[in-house]
């Protein structure tokens, strides 16, 4: 006997039997999508019922085509309809620069910054021993093959514990190849996914990337408009003040503080004394 499909939707996330009503089944299916709750699912379903039938069928056809026609790129493992994606087949790309990301959606996030013009490599996940995800479950082996011909590999994994662990592992594996390994800067908040980060913050993180997991290398250009390797190099500082200058400035400040304090105290005393005398004189004059 076939076991009925079950959905999560009750209190505390307990499993509930799938509803028999087709409308409720669709609502329950939409609730399983990320970012869609019960109310949002209801609104979507009733909106679909209110629009023209052709629009709903066109939407269903687009969803079907995405599921059946898209597949990983042979080179970078991003989604595409062709053998190679549009980025890998673009002759204008810098083929000596490789950006490693976790998911295809991260490629879209970085492309929206318009600051990166190299190639990508999608890991299709991240290392997570707790969830049983080991290096063999990711596209690490193809990455190591591609890295040999690269000038620089940018590790753009998430800014959380698992993302940092994945980056550390990849840096150790890439070290024997001698390629320059960098990590995107910490402009990204810890625990944030790239698709939730504003494009300007992501662009700054790419531009301010740092050497990672190996000996220091000379700076390499490859991003637009510039690629500083150290924020302190931007700082322009004049000559340090001499000891005598600092001492004179310190004494002058102290003298001003003492002088102003004495003036304020004298003003209070004088105003109080002369105020009492003026009051007594006025009382005597009127008397």
Question: CATH code at 37?
Answer: 1.10.8.420
Confidence of residue 265 (pLDDT cuts 50, 70, 90): low
- What pLDDT is attached to residue 2? 44
Check pLDDT > 60 for residue 12. no
Q: Which of 19-28, 123-132, 211-220 has the highest mean pLDDT?
A: 123-132
The per-residue pLDDT for 278 is 63
Final residue before a domain boundary, out of 185, 201, 228: 228
Question: Do residues 40 and 140 share a domain?
Answer: no
Residue in the structure block whose two tokens are 């290392």: 127
* 212, part of any domain: yes
The token pair that represents 228 in the structure block: 């500083």
Residue 266 lies in a domain: no
- Sorting pLDDT into bands at 50, 70 and 90, what band is 93? very high
The DSSP bridge pattern shows strands 180-183 and 210-211 to be antiparallel
Residues 64, 93 within the same domain: no
Structure tokens at 173: 């594996």
Whether pTM > 0.85 for this model: the answer is no
Nearest Cα residue to 229 out of 206, 252, 248:
206
Note whether 140 and 62 are same-domain residues. no
Residue ranges making up the domain that contains 104: 79-228
Out of 58-67, 217-226, 257-266, give the one with best mean pLDDT. 58-67
Q: Is 97 left (phi over 0), alpha (psi -120 to 50) or beta?
A: beta
């Amino acid at each position: 006997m076939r076991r009925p499909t079950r959905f999560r939707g009750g209190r505390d996330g307990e499993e509930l039997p799938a509803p028999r009503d087709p409308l409720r089944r669709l609502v329950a299916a939409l609730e399983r999508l990320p970012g869609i709750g019960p109310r949002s699912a209801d609104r979507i379903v009733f909106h679909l019922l209110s629009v023209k039938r052709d629009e709903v069928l066109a939407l269903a056809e687009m969803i079907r085509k995405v599921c059946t026609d898209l597949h990983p790129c042979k080179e970078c493992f991003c989604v595409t309809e062709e053998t190679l994606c549009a980025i890998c087949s673009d002759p204008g790309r810098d083929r000596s620069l490789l950006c490693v990301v976790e998911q295809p959606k991260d490629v879209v996030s970085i492309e929206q910054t318009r600051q990166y013009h190299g190639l990508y490599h999608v890991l299709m996940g991240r290392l997570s021993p707790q969830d049983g995800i080991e290096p063999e479950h990711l596209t690490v082996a193809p990455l190591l093959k591609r890295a040999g011909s690269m000038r620089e590999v940018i590790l753009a994994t998430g800014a959380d514990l698992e993302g940092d662990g994945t980056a550390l592992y990849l840096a150790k594996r890439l070290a024997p190849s001698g390629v320059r390994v960098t990590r995107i800067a910490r402009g990204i908040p810890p625990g944030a996914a790239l698709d939730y980060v504003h494009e300007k913050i992501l662009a700054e993180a790419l531009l301010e990337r740092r050497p990672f997991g190996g000996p220091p290398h000379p700076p390499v250009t490859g991003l637009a408009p510039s690629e500083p390797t150290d924020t302190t190099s931007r700082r322009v500082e004049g000559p340090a003040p001499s000891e005598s200058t600092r001492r004179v400035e310190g004494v002058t400040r102290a003298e001003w503080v003492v002088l102003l304090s004495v003036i304020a105290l004298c003003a209070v005393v004088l105003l109080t004394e002369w105020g009492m005398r003026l009051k007594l004189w006025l009382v005597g004059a009127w008397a």
